[in-house]
Chains A and B, each alone.
Chain A
Amino acid sequence: MTTVAEPTLVRAEQVRKSFGMHEVLKGIDLEVRRGEVMCVIGPSGSGKTTLLRCINHLEKITSGRLTVDGELVGYEQRGDKLYELTEREVARMRSTIGMVFQHFNLFPHMTVLGNIIEAPCRVKGISRTDATDIARRLLDQVGLGGRESWYPRQLSGGQQQRVAIARALAMEPKLMLFDEPTSALDPELVGDVLDVMRDLAGSGMTMFVVTHEMGFAREVGDKLVFMDDGVVVETGTPKDVIAKPQHKRTKSFLSKVL
């Protein structure tokens, strides 16, 4: 059904998500096109991280429709019925989507190399030698060549986050999700991580970035989404949204962060 010509990679239609009685996403509509960098900003508790986690099914949506590359996330439609995917099918879907966490979540008991080759070897079945070659290339790409045998604890936060990016890229994902990737970093380390992300965007990777870095959003983002209280308040090019926000809530948020 899906063809390479399909320009939309992520499509959300009236996506809702509740935790018990508390509704976090209240009908989200958005579209990420192939090769596009979408930045999502908004106050804490606005639902932006939850939305990101729904895209690789770390959270199940309560209603609406969410597709990645034309396939429903977490479900399969046969006729007019939805079937839940099995654990293995969900895992296979996740292996095509890279994710970078606010707190890096590197595996502390494995070396940098071990962290990067774990999933390619165990999930994709790539040989250790090939995976190691890929890992070396990716480490060079994120500016950490030669750190293969270091343990995460021996690296600075910025270095750990760059290893985490390399780890996600080793699975050759079609989409990269970034969940506030620089929020846990010391200010002087933010630049290195953003540089890596800028290069990645330049190479044509489709990226969905939840961030507080307005400079990055303005410079690298193709689209900027402002979310508040579980809804998309405003969408547009970063320049337009940041320079001339249309909504009162966007204006008040931007006045606090800029």
Chain B
Amino acid sequence: MSDTPGPPDPARQIKAVPVRHPWRWVTVAIIAVLVAMLVHTLAFSKVRRGKIESRWQWGIVGHYFFSSPVLHGAEHTVLLTVVCMAMGIVGGTVLAVMRLSPNPIVSSTSWAYIWFFRGTPVLLQIFFWYFVAYLYPAITLGIPFTHVTFVHITTQSVIGKFTAALLGLGLNEAAYMAEIVRAGIISVDEGQTEAASALGMHRLLIMRRIVLPQAMRVIIPPTGNETISMLKTTSLAYSIAYVELLYAVQLIYANNYETIPLLLTAALWYLLMTSVLYVGQYYIERYYARGSARSLPPTPRQRLLTTLTTLRRTPNPQIDDILGRPHA
């Protein structure tokens, strides 16, 4: 055999035919057709409802999108979400630390709370707080089991629709957050607690300064999940006639029967608000990742700047050599 190839030339770059992926083109074609159908039905498809109009009635959506009742509802949705998540995070952290306490009374109290609030539907809890005035018509502050009272107020004056929704959603969220925070805490290496104790730090200081900041990396992604979930769960408050986003559009379409475009308006607002949460979560995660990766991932702005500068970079043959690129 005389045509055996000689020894490979180490300086020459390998030239090979890349693997072909014919099925990729098939998938691309199928998806392209489906996307075209979606765009067509959403944007261009027309139907006759008395007069010819777009199927999804975008005109009505546009008309109500920034109308004052819808904005008002969205505002209440955001308010409920923020306050309930704050209650959930603070309450959940306290419950998680209690749950991990060496004191068995403290840890079982926390366990019982989580057991109760996770074990019953949140809608039921909202109703319960709304109707709690039937059970306890007055709230008093005094010495238990005596007739000495310092403060006496009627329950109804304190617990309205908003407070009932807050208590129902917030206390329930605390139970879920407790488990998320607990998972974060136990994910931190025990050596961290030992090193801090050996330096003379006490338990709560170690929790606050050493363990929780490291637990944040594990806590944040599911908390982002919970926040997005909470934003949508606040719609349950419509059941006690609290005017949040969903109830606000329901009130409108109950009058004008434009059900679909108004539901679409609410859906777009929910999407818009959850998208904002994505951005917030990205930056919070980045903040707590410091020290854990060798270098922080770039922010979208930094990434854009790097791309722009590399596009405009001056040719550098040395770097091309290192990367095996042909000289410019």
Contact = CB atoms under 8 A, between A and B. Distances in A.
Interface of A: 56, 58, 87-88, 91-99, 101, 103, 105-111, 118-119, 122-123, 151-154, 164, 167-168, 171
B195 A91 contact: no
Contact of B294 (A92, A103, A122, A154): A154
B210 A107 contact: yes
A64 to B, nearest CB: 22
B210 to A, nearest CB: 6
B198 interface: yes
Contacts of B205: 122-123
A152 B294 CA distance: 10
B203 interface: yes
A61 to B, nearest CB: 17
Interface in B183-204: 189, 191-192, 194-203
B291 A94 contact: no
Given A118-B209, A151-B290, A153-B292, A108 B214 contact: yes
Given A118-B209, A122-B205, A153-B293, A105 B199 contact: no
Nearest to A99: B198
B213 to A, nearest CB: 5
A92 B195 CA distance: 14
A188 B88 CA distance: 50
Nearest to A56: B198
B192 A91 contact: no
Given A101-B194, A103-B191, A122-B205, A167 B199 contact: yes
A105 B197 contact: no
Given A88-B202, A122-B209, A153-B292, A58 B197 contact: yes
Contact of A109 (B195, B198, B213, B294): B213
Interface of B: 189, 191-192, 194-203, 205, 209-210, 213-214, 288, 290-294
Contacts of B197: 58, 91, 94
Given A87-B203, A108-B214, A118-B209, A58 B198 contact: yes
Contacts of A99: 195, 198
A177 B210 CA distance: 22
Contacts of A153: 291-294
Contacts of A56: 198
A151 B80 CA distance: 39
Given A108-B292, A109-B291, A153-B294, A87 B202 contact: yes
A118 B191 CA distance: 16
B197 to A, nearest CB: 6
A172 B13 CA distance: 61
B200 A92 contact: yes
Nearest to A93: B200
B138 to A, nearest CB: 42
Contacts of A106: 195
A171 B199 contact: yes
A206 B205 CA distance: 28
Contacts of A154: 294
A20 B27 CA distance: 62
B199 A108 contact: no
Contacts of B292: 108-109, 153
Contacts of A88: 202
A203 B77 CA distance: 65
A98 B197 CA distance: 11
Contacts of B291: 108-111, 151-153
Given A109-B291, A110-B291, A154-B294, A119 B194 contact: no
Contacts of B195: 99, 101, 105-107, 164
A87 to B, nearest CB: 6
Contact of B202 (A58, A91, A96, A167): A91
Given A105-B194, A109-B213, A119 B201 contact: yes
